[in-house]
Structure 1
Amino acid sequence: MGDWNRNLGTLSEDALSRLGEILDNCTRGWRQLANIANEHPQFRCSENELTSCSVQVLSPTGSPARYLLARLADRSCSLAFLLSCLKKMDNQHAVQYLTATVMENIHITVQPQSQQALEGGRVVLACRAAGPAGLSYQWFRGKEQILGGSGSAADLVLSPLGPVHQGHYICRVNHGDTCIFSQWAHIQFSRSEFSSPGCSSTLFPGSKSGLCITRQPQSQTVTEGDSLFLECLVEANPPAQFHWHHNMNAMQQQKSSVLRIPAVTTTDRGQYSCKVYNLFHEIWSNPVQIHIGPSSLSDGSWTEVDTAPPPRHIRPKESLYATDKVALLIGNMNYSHHIQLSAPMADVHELANLLRQLDFKVVSLLDLNWQEMNSAVTEFLLLLDKGVYGLLYFAGHGYENYGNSFMVPIDAPASYTSDHCLCVQSVLQRMQERETGLNVFLLDMCRKRNPNDDVIPHSGPLKVTANIVFGYATCVDAEAYEVKEDNLNNGIFISFLKQRVCEDEKVTVMLDRVAEDMGRCELMRGIQALELRSNLSERRALTDLIQSTESPTDHSARNLQWAIAHVLPKSRTLHFECGVQVQIGFAAEFSNIMIIYTRILEKPKEIMSCSAELIDFPEEGVDLDLKKSNQGSVLEAGSLLPIMEILPPAQSPGLYTRLKSLQRLKKELTFTVCLHYRYSNMDDEEVQDMRRVTVGKPLVSKLNLHEPRKPRSSSSDRPSVNAPETSMYAEDLGQDFPASETSSIGSALTTSYYSQTTREQPRSYSSATQRVNIPEENAELMECAPQPLIASQSLTQSHLTQDPCSFNDKNNFHTY
């Protein structure tokens, strides 16, 4: 029997492509699949994602259905759930193909685990596979097959253990001419007792950090009414947290090392696994199967018929909704007169990706000065109106005086005061005047008092509303910390927030859980704790659906107003007289950071080699490191976010140039493409050809954030399509903007956390690594008609990275 509980993404690429072809070319196709999947909150597709599916037909090899299947796989869609959707659609062709594929597919359900054992001891390497009947197993040590003994069994037994057994082992599972290999398992001979199956960082004596499962849960067969007991024991530093999953769905009440269900029913059957994690590591237990029936698994008097994941709670139709959802994310790192930070880049990128999954219109900006922050907030306010959910996230230096919080721009002087900073309460007052439905502030900064600022701010009285939520990364008069070590990912606050932000819960409940998660982390106790302030009286959630009450014209104006900040230049092909064709493409890393790549599409046979470099960028308006321009990879070009799908594949190498601070671009972006090439009959003589290119004002540069503007506070000031005087409409409102290329930028980032800016002798704490989602920024601007706009999409879990790092005591955190 096939394993229907596994993720859709475990199907082979050929199987997924064939299934995509079936759903692309039938009346009961991918749109119907998306509509049925939308009934389950976990698999709900936004309008932006459906539009992304549609535009796949513009590519010669694009498949809307294949794109949709990838999105479902990202959200842990099981094969059983997909099958149930296809049956509801009555697409018999797809049902038959999927059933045949799964039933004949070999899938390893239990992987052999690396172990360390004592001389004379006993080691068992286990491998289990699901698939058609008649599977056989072959074990190998390195390249040599293990003959005799248990070498052809599912369990390889090594006893008594000696130095000869040390090495790497792998299992091959066969069915006819088809085979699949397990992962490698390393057996290490030791004279001290320790084994390390399921470890994210080895915990040998003398090590500093890690997370290791010492006892795995076991598969069981129980009868209805009996109790179910599963246990997962670990060794961890810092202490571990647990979260059990049933059929790949999180069990909200099961968050300890032991799972207990007092009286099971048939709905409790299926696959169980436990996610074990601490601040810096995350591992999963082996998946186990729980069979439930009147007697035992061999009793033919019962049959399992429903292995689809149980539906999650769906809120009633009368739930609250947003008229729109908008987020402004600012991360300041490179300060002119204060301590440099590292984590804001990763944190802003991570949160932007998650909010886009919740249908937020997101503007993400790095390294803004005072004028740019003021202008960005003013433009953000233009996107707000009655019933809109507004979210402002700031990561960087900050302080709090007399109950007012201040965000510090990168150009703030050494002894800054409130005149050099932005007051969060003033922003809130302006947001309230827009009659927003929900105001959320997430402030990732210190809240120590600023001794240079004795002025009591007067931002004016706040309205009496019940829709304000403040989430502070640390408590009043306390510092936030930054981990100073290489190869890190998120800061502390986002490390916990990203686990919860997409939960379908009242926003205060979600943040309370984040605070509880931080409180359970022993490393943070007495050092940093999230503080929540709120007067929210309704069950408003970041996951609330959008239901616009505006006229189509007003809604179109809002979409255009937001989309102008995300216009990428259209990809183009340059034809040189020598016969070489060069493609220029563009990708958005943030709303104010763009990557340009060039690649050779075609060259005559007589040309031996050629490359296209970008030169002559404007001296003012963009931040460009010339030493890192025209590099062979995005990492070499200065980005910590490796570009993925939309850039040229490995077999078509290109050159990459990264432009920062686009908000300071005052004129159209113009540069030169310099083609270098050599003819095969000319000895080492290089020829050059130049082509000047103008691409307009990309991304946030259209907003002219460098220009002062008067704060707009009245909701009546929101521009309409007939109000071109608004700064966002200053660039030919009526023109047809080109659709931007989809940009895909993953991340494996070095990050740190946020600290106060006064330069005191640092205290130290530790560091480690978190897995980072690998997000994409995709801004596709349609014409001015009220059409849905593409915001972004997230990549699959397989793109996430996790690097081991050292953790001992509180010796590498720094506060300033």
Structure 2
Amino acid sequence: MSDSLERSTKINLLKESVVKKLCEVLDKSNTRGWRKLGEIVGNDRRFTVSSDDMELCSLRVLEVEGSPSLMLLRLMGERGCTAGHLIDYLQTLGNTEALHCLKPQVLQILIQPQSVSLICGHNLRLSCHAVGKSAVQYQWFKSKEEVPNSAFPELMISPVSVKDAGFYICRVNSGEVCEFSQWAQVDVLNVGMSYGLSYHSLDGRLKLVMQPQFQHLHVGETLRLECGAVGRPIPRYQWHRNGVPIPNAAQRRLMIPHVMQDHSGRYRCEISSSTDRMWTNEADVVIAPRISVQISGATECSEDDIYALGGGSCEFLLNSIPEQLYATDKVALLIGNLSYQNHPQLKAPMVDVYDLTNLLRQLNFKVVSLLDLTESEMRNAVDEFLLLLHKGVYGLLYYAGHGYENYGNSFMVPVDAPNPYRSANCLCVQSILKLMQEKETDLNVFLLDMCRKRNIHDDNTPNIVLRVTANIVFGYATCQDAEAFELSSTGFTNGVFVKFLKKRLLEDEKITVVLDRVAEDMGQFDATKGKQALEIRSSLSERRALTDPILPSDSASLVHAQSRQWAKAHELPESMCLSFDCGAQIKLGFAAEFSNVLVIYTYIVKKPDDMSFCQAHVTDFSQELDVDPKEMNRETPEETGIYLLSSSLPQHCLYTRLSSLQKLREELVFTVCLQGTFADMDDDHPVHWTTSINIGKPLIARLDLHRAMRRNSCMQTCLMPHSPSHSPCHSPGPEHQLHLCHGPHQVQDYNRLSPQQRYLDVCEHPHGAAGGCGSGSSYYDNLNQCGYELAYDCAGLGVPIEASDDISEVQAVFINSLQLEPQ
């Protein structure tokens, strides 16, 4: 087909695969996407796109799999727009990725160079591999300058020096066709002993090599702190002061000019990549005032003069600084129970646990986040939580699910609790508190997002004697003998408590002050006004805050052992590249949505030239994980139930979500299956290759929470009238089914909802009414018949971008230097 004929093709006659790919590119771009394209077309009188047309396109986001770009292209096609016009518009737009969708892939880059951080003196290797219809030629550039002697797929610099740091790109030619690789940033660290050399890493991948150092400055001087880690992909940095993230401090070097005394504190940096996360040591920064005093009413002396005089007749008053409270460590256990076997199922706990996990990690908490635990799993999880506690630790327990309260004792209901349940089937919060007190923790925080109705089926009155300590805080999502609500929705929303808690949790205030503000916010929420109110119980006598810094105790071996115990439950398998006999290469990657939920994704790294179709999927998982084959190896994360982490995963993969890892008894072994077809084959039947993969026990599976015979120390503090194995169990009565806003058949479809479906229904239901009080009592009347709309604002654990924010500027300078039009 000639170029002129191709340009004259109406865009409504383009191949569906081309249009689909083009829409994906335009939908995801914020600055060079469909909105900007609509503006450009709107300025062309031949194919006028009005503001009403743009509004019609924007409404497509409300539909399942709706695409504003597809609507815009349809409107343009109806008005006679051709492929040639569209190419011109996309060139004006400057979206080269979109342009590539309309051009035949004569040249394709299969392996892109990856950003890397390494130490001065080591070897730098950047790789770029492409295939084309004719011989492929390569040329590497650093910024806009050609790298000498670099006409190869791999760029080697040995040894690398600080001057080699910068941005690199590879130009690939095949005949007259030219493509550019993605930019790769190279960061070279000049490490000396003065930086506090350290190779400590929780899982051995990222390596921390530069630590921030103590600083003593005067008001008005410049604060400079530096840290550094090596690894691939390039690490991402976020500086914290006194446990709170510093805005716009996301570089290796932190510089604050003209410091004031308020800048004093403990500084440290969080370093992360797509798979790793670690912290530097804390560095104390002391900002002293510049003091001038008068001696004998006539002579002035500086602060240095005062020190030289040893005080003398100089009389001055220094500002008294209140004592800084700190923790020896911070540990949080978050449990969200949704999928109850004998009671109404819930939705919000999954979103609530996910959001709080992200926030608490910003406050330097070691977080264990778990979904859908049975009684024995909950007890074993609490035991592991207690192992992380010691003198001076801040311990936080968050629970969302069904619950009840009898005689001042709160009980958390596991997912396998019978109907009706009693205390023997549940975990007593006060029992856990007693065990935490024995650990001599400095702060005990309980956030209980559950009902507190009386359980008429349970007459047991456990006698739990707590020590008198001034370090306990209870935040109840609702008042005594009341229910806690979650907002009924077809999408993802928080429960009422976390909806307001997450807006306040990072505030640098005493924890009771934070909860007071949450209570005030909840009191203004019309949907639950008069039905749910936050209740705070506290014996806290000091100004303890969740933002307090961490100052490890003198027992370094104990701290290290406990850090390893926590890290043991959060180690992801190493990503791997699999090679098959046919010549194809597959990337197998992993991500953690929760401590007991693993995401596996696969994508093609290299496809043989003679293979027309190639795809890899995973199969043959242990029956203990109960994985639905229909929800495995899907083309979008949402299709397999991965909603909260979807924006952080790499694109164009096949995704599989494995939940309930705590049930895994043996090492996780599964099969990776590659299937492909070849152009010279007579039939279309694919050829299969398989390989077996063993990734050990990932995440929480390493702790063997499935074991029934554990210490169960959290149970020993309660007087149980009967053992859990012999507790009464009844099938759900009809009274439990009549008052449900969402029956089990509806909840099963919830995992298949699109994130765009996020509008509230007219009713809302409690975190355990009916099941929550064990009596089958009816729900409150439907709340707020007009409905509320909530934004889908889950805080994601994003995969770090493998380059700085200056990439766009580097790209523009580079293109202009070569005098090339964007492809």
Q: TM-score, normalised by structure 1?
A: 0.55
Residue-by-residue CA offset, 1:100-122 (whole Å, 9 max, x unaligned): xxxxxxxxxxxxxxxxxxxxxxx
Give structure 1 stretches of 5+ with no counterpart.
1-8, 40-44, 90-313, 715-745, 779-791, 797-816
Q: Distance in 2 between matches of 1:351 and 1:610?
A: 40
Q: Could you tell me how far 1:38 is from its partner in structure 2?
A: 13
- Alignment map for 1:162-561 (pairs within 5 Å): 316=321, 318-458=323-463, 460-561=464-565
Contact 2:353 2:369 in 1 (8 A): yes
Contact 1:490 1:770 in 2 (8 A): no
Give deviations 1:188-231, integer Å, cap 9, x for gaps: xxxxxxxxxxxxxxxxxxxxxxxxxxxxxxxxxxxxxxxxxxxx
Q: Name the % identity.
A: 49
Residue 754 of structure 1 and its aligned partner are, at CA, apart by 1.9
Three-state SS of the structure 2 residue aligned to 1:561 is helix
Q: Deviations over 1:633-668 (max 9, x none)?
A: 1111112224334x43x4xx2111110100000000
Retained in 1: the 8 A contact 2:239–2:246?
A: no
Is the alpha carbon distance of 1:662 and 1:22 closer, same or farther for their aligned partners in structure 2, counting shifts above 3 Å?
closer
Cα pair distance change 1:78/1:610, threshold 3 Å: closer
- Per-residue deviation, 1:776: 1.6
Alpha-carbon shift at residue 18 of structure 1 (Å): 7.3
TM-superposed CA distance for 1:555, in Å, is: 1.3
Q: Secondary structure at the match of 1:776?
A: coil
* Partner Cα separation in structure 2 for residue 360 and residue 575 of structure 1: 39
State the distance in 2 between where 1:70 and 1:328 align: 23
Q: Give secondary structure in 2 for the equivalent of 1:515.
A: helix
What is the SS of the residue equivalent to 2:473?
strand
Q: Which residue of 2 is the match for residue 690 of structure 1?
A: 690
Structure 2 unmatched ranges of 5 or more: 1-29, 32-93, 95-114, 116-142, 145-164, 169-183, 196-207, 218-222, 260-318, 716-753, 805-823
Given that 1:635 and 1:642 are in contact with CA atoms closer than 8 Å, whether structure 2 keeps it comes out as no
Instruction: State how far apart, in whole Å, the 2-side matches of 1:390 and 1:528 are.
Output: 26
Change beyond 3 A, Cα 1:455–1:335: same
* Residues 638 and 36 of structure 1, relative CA distance in 2, 3 Å threshold: farther
Code of the aligned partner of 1:757 = A
Per-residue Cα deviation, 1:335-356 (whole angstroms, up to 9, x for no partner):
0011110000000000010000
Contact 1:642/1:747 (8 A) holds in 2: no
Find the residue that maps to 2:566 and give its secondary structure. Answer: helix
Give yes or no for contact 2:769–2:778 (8 Å, CA) kept in 1: no
> Whole-Å Cα distance in 2 between the matches of residues 496 and 319 of structure 1?
28
Instruction: Compute the displacement of 1:27 (Å).
Output: 9.0
Note the alpha carbon deviations across 1:316-350, whole angstroms, 9 max, x for none. Answer: 57211101000000000000011110000000000
Is the aligned partner of 1:636 residue 2:642?
A: no
* Kept after mapping to 2: 8 A contact 1:330/1:348: yes
Amino acid at match of 2:646: I
Could you say if the C-alpha distance between residues 436 and 491 of structure 1 is closer, same or farther in structure 2, counting changes exceeding 3 Å? same
Distance between the aligned counterparts of 1:661 and 1:553, measured in 2? 32
Code of the aligned partner of 1:607:
M
| 1:77 to 1:427, Cα distance in 2 relative to 1, 3 A | closer
- Is the contact between residue 488 and residue 768 of structure 1 (CA under 8 Å) also seen in structure 2? no
Task: Give the length in aligned residue pairs.
Answer: 495
The CA deviation at 1:616 is: 0.9
**In the alignment, is the contact (CA less than 8 A) between 1:588 and 1:777 conserved in 2?**
no
The letter for the 2-side match of 1:687 is V
Structure 2 CA distance for partners of 1:711 and 1:777, relative to 1, 3 Å: farther
Q: Return the alpha-carbon distance in structure 2 between the equivalents of residues 453 and 747 of structure 1.
A: 40
Residue 492 to residue 596, structure 1, CA distance change in 2 (3 Å): same
Q: Deviations over 1:36-79 (max 9, x none)?
A: 9999xxxxx9x9xx9xx845x422x62x4x644999xx968369
Q: Indicate the residue corresponding to 1:775 in structure 2.
A: 796
C-alpha displacement at 1:775, in angstroms?
A: 2.4
Give the Cα–Cα distance (whole angstroms) in 1 for the partners of residues 613 and 401 of structure 2.
46
For the 8 Å contact 2:392–2:440, the answer to whether it is kept is yes
Given that residues 240 and 246 in structure 2 are in contact (C-alpha distance below 8 angstroms), is that contact kept between their aligned partners in structure 1? no
Which position in structure 2 is the counterpart of 1:613? 617
Out of 737, 742, 757, the position equivalent to 2:770 is 757
Tell me which moved more, 511-520 or 760-769: 760-769
Cα pair distance change 1:632/1:466, threshold 3 Å: same
How far, CA to CA, are the matches of 2:254 and 2:434 in structure 1?
A: 49
Q: Which residue identity does 2:599 align to in structure 1?
A: I
Tell me the distance in 1 between the aligned counterparts of 2:413 and 2:398.
13
Q: SS at 2:587's partner residue?
A: strand
2:247 aligned with 1:77: yes
> Equivalents in 2 of 1:328, 1:596: separation in Å?
24
Which deviations, in whole Å up to 9, do the C-alpha atoms of 1:123-160 show, x marking residues without a partner? xxxxxxxxxxxxxxxxxxxxxxxxxxxxxxxxxxxxxx
CA-CA distance at 1:387 after TM superposition: 0.7
* Counterparts of residues 100-115 of structure 1 (less than 5 Å): none
Q: Report the alpha carbon displacement of residue 567 of structure 1 after superposing the two structures with TM.
A: 1.4
Distance in structure 1 (CA, Å) of the matches to 2:496 and 2:451: 13
> In structure 2, do the counterparts of structure 1 residues 32 and 611 end up closer, same or farther at CA, with 3 Å as the change threshold?
closer
Distance in 1 of aligned mates of 2:258 and 2:610:
58
Kindly tell me: are residues 27 and 429 of structure 1, through their superposed partners in 2, closer, same or farther at Cα, counting changes over 3 Å?
A: closer
Secondary structure of the structure 2 residue equivalent to 1:700: helix
Rg comparison, structure with higher value:
2
Structure 1 residues 32 and 627, CA gap change in structure 2 (3 angstroms): closer
Quick check: 1:625 aligned with 2:628?
Answer: yes
Deviation of residue 528 (structure 1)? Answer: 0.6
Aligned twin of 1:659: 658
Which runs of at least 4 in structure 1 moved beyond 3 Å after TM superposition? 12-39, 66-71, 74-84, 86-89, 314-317, 711-714, 746-753, 757-762
Tell me, yes or no, if the aligned pair for 1:447 and 1:476 is still in contact at 8 Å: yes
Distance 1:375 1:27, change over 3 A: closer
- 1:755 alignment partner, SS class: coil
Greater fraction helix: 2
Residue type of the alignment partner of 2:378: M
2:794 match: secondary structure: coil
Let me know the Cα RMSD of the aligned residues: 4.2
Distance 2:797 2:605 in 1: 25
